Structure 1
Amino acid sequence: MTTLRAVGDRAVIVDCADLEAVLALHAALAASPPDGVIDLVPAARTVLVTFDPSILAGDRVAGWIRSTPPVRPGALGDAGDALVLDVEYSGEDLGEVASLLSLTEREVVDLHTASVWRVAFVGFAPGFGYLVTDSTRLAVPRRSSPRTSVPAGAVGLAGEYTGVYPRSSPGGWQLIGRTDAPLWNADASPPALLTPGRVVCFREAS
């Protein structure tokens, strides 16, 4: 069973057993938020629920969370209305990733583009999404020595996740490619292109 903890008088954090439980709870809460709920913020093992206490009391928020049955997100086999990101697969770590997985570079690219991904949560930097897929075949460790600067648009792998750097920053993910997609625009609504729950497909740029 999940554990709820108050975070001041404007938020509740829900501790979940694993990422699958996070995805299930976030999907259920996002489907029917009551008036007064401001935001739902999933992470690797938690969901933060922020609310306006002048509209919705904390005990009612807790009751809503406890009474909402989790909704298991559907299998990711169908791309449907997925966001498509074009990627040039020439990342500095593509060869290393292929070696770690006992695959050719071509097979790594084919696996990455054939997979359908979902944004599990966001963090690290504005616009940076942690994407997961149903397959574990592309799971690789982070680099033993992080880079001091990773260029904006770099597509990487780390653990069970794939991600795209929205701006230049330090980072330790295994870089396999690059996209020109604008991942963060402070003037847009929402400002992040990758938001929790969004389905994403990667396409090899011609």
Structure 2
Amino acid sequence: MRVYELITQLSLTRLPTPIFSRQLSFPKVKHSAVLVPIVCANSPYIILTLRPEYLKHHPHQVCFPGGKLDPSDINLRQTALRETQEEIGIRPDKIKIVSQLSRYTTLSQFSIKPYVGLIEVPCNLSLNQAEVKQLIELPLTQLMDMKIDCIEIEQHNSVHPIYHFSYQGLLIWGATAAILKQLQQQLLVNDLTNR
């Protein structure tokens, strides 16, 4: 898959029906953003991070680079870029944002805005060991063929879908799996319409 094909397939298109259209509604949410970083290698892949076990929030979970909106951030896009640089060392000028996915609200009352960004190779990564234990590379071709399961739980007087799948012996679930599911559907929809 070439870079221009990726841009075509991801370029600010929206799915007809977001997979998490049943959003939770809380009186006060914590606004945050993540970057879905896609490395434009011969075989493009998504960078995921594994958080250390000792962290207070989401220990030993697989996630995207990202975090809460900081008062110094102009917008959530800047939040995603700043957090990516802090966590894995990729500067904002090395990232081309090509798409935004639908906002996702977690049961822990985080409202997450995902941005999809393309990164050219070579990408010089520098892990912040305090926040990232290791990197995980998920090939786009594998994502497109992957089965991402869903269970539904009832909480806060509503039914909430929890997406999950296993990859390289790790459980990937919650917001990360839901965002990957939406990206998967967007790629598949656009792949069919571009044929």
TM over 0.5: no
- TM-score normalised per structure 1: 0.20
Structure with the largest fraction of helix: 2
- TM-score normalised per structure 2: 0.21
Higher alpha-carbon Rg: 1
